[in-house]
Amino acid sequence: MDKFLIRGGKPLNGTVKISGAKNSALPCLAAALLTGETVTLHNVPYVKDLITQRRLLEDLGATVLTPELHTQKIKAANIEIYEAPYELVKTMRASVLALGPLLARFGQAKVSLPGGCAIGTRPIDLHLKAFERLGATVSLEAGDVIARAPKGRLTGADTFFEKVSVTGTENVMMAASLARGLTTIRNAAREPEIEDLAELLNKMGAKISGAGTSEIEIEGVEDLGAAEHVIIPDRIETGTFIVAAAITGGEVEIENCQPKHLQAVIEKLRETGVEIETRGADKIFVKRGDPGLRSKDVTTEPHPLFPTDMQAQYMALMTQAEGTATIVETIFENRFMHASELVRMGADIQISGNTAIVKGKTKLTGAPVLASDLRASASLVLAALAAEGETLIDRVYHIDRGYETIVKKLSAIGADIERITENLK
């Protein structure tokens, strides 16, 4: 397994370009299953999860051309099977996004029930409940979810999510696009990625309104067609690089980003003393304020509030702030695994249930640490950049899932980081 070797203590300075949003590209690739015509997506990030999603589409029978690294042209004209197999779903939960499109277009879908992952059980019961509201029959057989639409087509209905679910909202929005009649999604997720998917679906001929609010209306149509779409920038990668500049005391310009997609993160980081200046619609300039960082409490909530995907990165930053910060994680039940690794590097963090108490400022010292999930890995990289001495981060395949060429991007702004590839003899 690959490792990162990082020698910390160097302020980051320079310009970094943000890649396309992983969590928008994943549903947008799945949306291409809704039509037999070509869907062209630009600004698709070159990360492991998208390679997995592309493989899933090809396993289903779609053809995927990549005329250049960040463009995918998908043509799902000859879909022969309607099943997302276990070996794919177990590596990437977002494969469940194939459910809605397959069910809507072909009247049937079989998707391995995703197991839990490091950060929590992550069920899909709310997805399935909503599909049943749309008239589907759903059964569980040998670990697979089997969904069928009677007479081959779903019927629009009023659906409600008792918990806000990002991929749940996306799955139902895609399924309802081809249903007969009107569908309403209440208590819908409001993430920018939902709006991006709705924009693609409407370009394909869908009739969706309200995306980005907690109530979305979808008027079903007979079929969907070709479209071309540019994926929005990754707001979590943007937030991660803002923290990288702040935690190392550097000055970094971040390009190709959308500051309005991470307002809660920007406001919270400003409160801690990070100077963040937005320059135009797609640029941010970041530097750590002179008096240093101050501890500020944060609670993770669905968009537009502070995102759970920035919690681990924020925790790393709070180890370098003066005071005590209380971090409450309300979305996932086990998303503090980075804390024990940060403690190995010298952080003072007490965990009690879904609450972490971070006392700062503590001196971080490089140490061998273990990545456990995508955002925990980012947290360890950030701490290593601020730490004195060498940090060896193992299992960095986690970070490769969602950060495009992070070693190259960090090195280009002054980080001393290298990837150590273990050749298994």
Smallest gap from Cβ 240 to ligand EPZ, in A, equals 11
Query: Measured in whole angstroms, how far is the alpha carbon of residue 169 from the centre of its chain?
Result: 14
Pattern of binders to ligand EPZ over 174-213, x per CB under 6 A? ----------------------------------------
Per residue, what are the HEC states of the chain?
A: CCEEEEECCCCCEEEEECCECHHHHHHHHHHHHHCCCEEEEECCCCCHHHHHHHHHHHHHCCEEEEEECCEEEEECCCCCCCEECHHHHCCCHHHHHHHHHHHHHHCEEEEECCCCECCECCCCHHHHHHHHHCCCEEEEECCEEEEECHHHCCECCEEECCCCCHHHHHHHHHHHHCCECEEEEECCCCCHHHHHHHHHHHHCCCEEECECECEEEEECCCCCCCEEEECCECHHHHHHHHHHHHHHCCEEEEECCCHHHHHHHHHHHHHCCEEEEECCCCEEEEEECCCCCECCCEECCCCCCCCHHHHHHHHHHHCCCEEEEEEECCCCCCCCHHHHHHHHCCCEEEEECCEEEEEECCCCECCEEECCCHHHHHHHHHHHHHCECEEEEECCHHHHCCCCCHHHHHHHCCCEEEEECCCCC
> At how many degrees (to 10) do helices 99-106 and 125-133 cross?
20
23, 187, 319, 379: which one binds ligand EPZ (CB under 6 A): 23
Residue list 298-357, contact with ligand EPZ (CB under 6 A): 308-309, 331-332
Count of residues that bind ligand EPZ according to CB under 6 A: 23
Q: Segment near ligand EPZ (CB under 6 A), from 75-83, 165-173, 310-318, 388-396? A: 165-173
Catalytic residue among 5, 79, 117, 370: 117
18, 21, 25, 26: which one binds ligand EPZ (CB under 6 A): 26
Q: Segment near ligand EPZ (CB under 6 A), from 123-131, 214-222, 238-246, 339-347? A: 123-131
Smallest gap from Cβ 196 to ligand EPZ, in A, equals 11
Q: Is 334 annotated as a binding residue?
A: no
102, 374, 385, 407: which one binds ligand EPZ (CB under 6 A): 374
Smallest gap from Cβ 354 to ligand EPZ, in A, equals 11
Q: Is 373 annotated as a binding residue?
A: no
6 neighbors 393 (Cβ within 8 angstroms): yes
100 binds ligand EPZ (CB under 6 A): no
35, 167, 313, 320: which one binds ligand EPZ (CB under 6 A): 167
Pattern of binders to ligand EPZ over 222-261, x per CB under 6 A? ----------------------------------------
Q: Segment near ligand EPZ (CB under 6 A), from 162-170, 217-225, 244-252, 319-327? A: 162-170
115, 123, 143, 181: which one binds ligand EPZ (CB under 6 A): 123
Pattern of binders to ligand EPZ over 394-413, x per CB under 6 A? --------x-----------
Judge whether 117 counts as a catalytic residue: yes
101 preceded by a cis bond (ω within 30 of 0): no
**Residue positions forming the annotated binding site:** 22-23, 93, 122-126, 163-166, 309, 331
The residues that touch ligand EPZ, with contacts defined as CB under 6 A, are 23, 26, 93-94, 120, 122-127, 163, 165-168, 308-309, 331-332, 374-375, 402
**Residue positions forming the annotated binding site for UDP-N-acetyl-alpha-D-glucosamine:** 93, 122-126, 163-166, 309, 331
**Residue positions forming the annotated binding site for phosphoenolpyruvate:** 22-23
Catalytic residue positions?
Answer: 117
